[in-house]
Structure 1
Amino acid sequence: MLNSSLVKQGFIAAAIANISGVLIFSKGLTNTALMEADPVVMSSFGLIMIMVWGLAYLGAAFTPGNLRWIAGAFAVEKLVYVVCWLTWFSRDNLQAVYEQDLFAGIFYSIYGLNDAVFMVFFAWVYLKSASAAKG
């Protein structure tokens, strides 16, 4: 059985992580070191879109009913960010980012781990919702 309160809290936590994380570590979308370290994924547009995803998680948190497919889509979205983060680590220098800006360094140290945690959460919601639908 899927605990709807836990699911709601998880979706809200994901929203808070995306929105507040971007605003804090990007210093209100002004942290050029963060954006320059990965100008494709973490451009100002990319950071805004991360916050839009946060709004989608928040909307889902207050949506009654089965969230199976939206949770599945969110799990895939988080997987994409985890892969981007791992790719970034394989080709870029975290120490150089820390030397430019502490907040950018912390952001690149943790964002993929954060996304991995929420990816597992969303996948769990998807899988539990699928098994609950089977009876």
Structure 2
Amino acid sequence: MNNKMMKLGFVLAAAMNIGGVLIFSRGFTNSVIHQFDPVVMSNFGLLMIMVWGLAYLGAATIEGNITWLAGAFVIEKLVYVVAWLLWISHNDLSSVYQHDVFAGAFYTIYGLNDFVFMLFFIWVFISQRKRH
């Protein structure tokens, strides 16, 4: 994998985590998000999503081997994808949208977004293992 593409991927992952949380939570003021998942998507949980975004941003600056860091990111994204699949299978998105469009959009896309970036981190993991 080309280093520019890898850096761009990490920066995009960071932007989605940090920007996504800030936008959809309206700067942590949108109580509907944590109303529908008070454990994973509490304000603390949303803050931790942003911290993961900072970790991705940090990874974008590393010039050396990041195989196992990418592997950790794969596991982290897998946890969120599974949490989203469980949530989506037990909840009704239309009721979230009735309460708040931003929260509805958040719950509609966050698992898909995490799945896409999980695939990216798998790609980084595999390509880094081949190089080192």
Q: TM-score, normalised by structure 1?
A: 0.96
- Corresponding position of 1:77: 76
- Corresponding position of 2:46: 47
- Corresponding position of 1:86: 85
Residues 25-47 of structure 1, C-alpha deviations (whole Å, 9 max, x = no match): 00000100011110000000000
What amino acid does structure 1 have at the position aligned with 2:107? Answer: Y
* 1:21 is aligned to 2:20: yes
Paired residues, number = 132
Distance 1:84 1:49 in 2: 15
- Corresponding position of 1:32: 31
- Corresponding position of 2:59: 60
What amino acid does structure 2 have at the position aligned with 1:85? Answer: W
* % identity of equivalent residues: 60
Residues 51-79 of structure 1, C-alpha deviations (whole Å, 9 max, x = no match): 00000000010112011110010011000
Q: TM-score, normalised by structure 2?
A: 0.98
What amino acid does structure 2 have at the position aligned with 1:84? Answer: A
Distance 1:100 1:82 in 2: 23
Distance 2:59 2:83 in 1: 24
Describe the SS at the equivalent of 1:15. helix
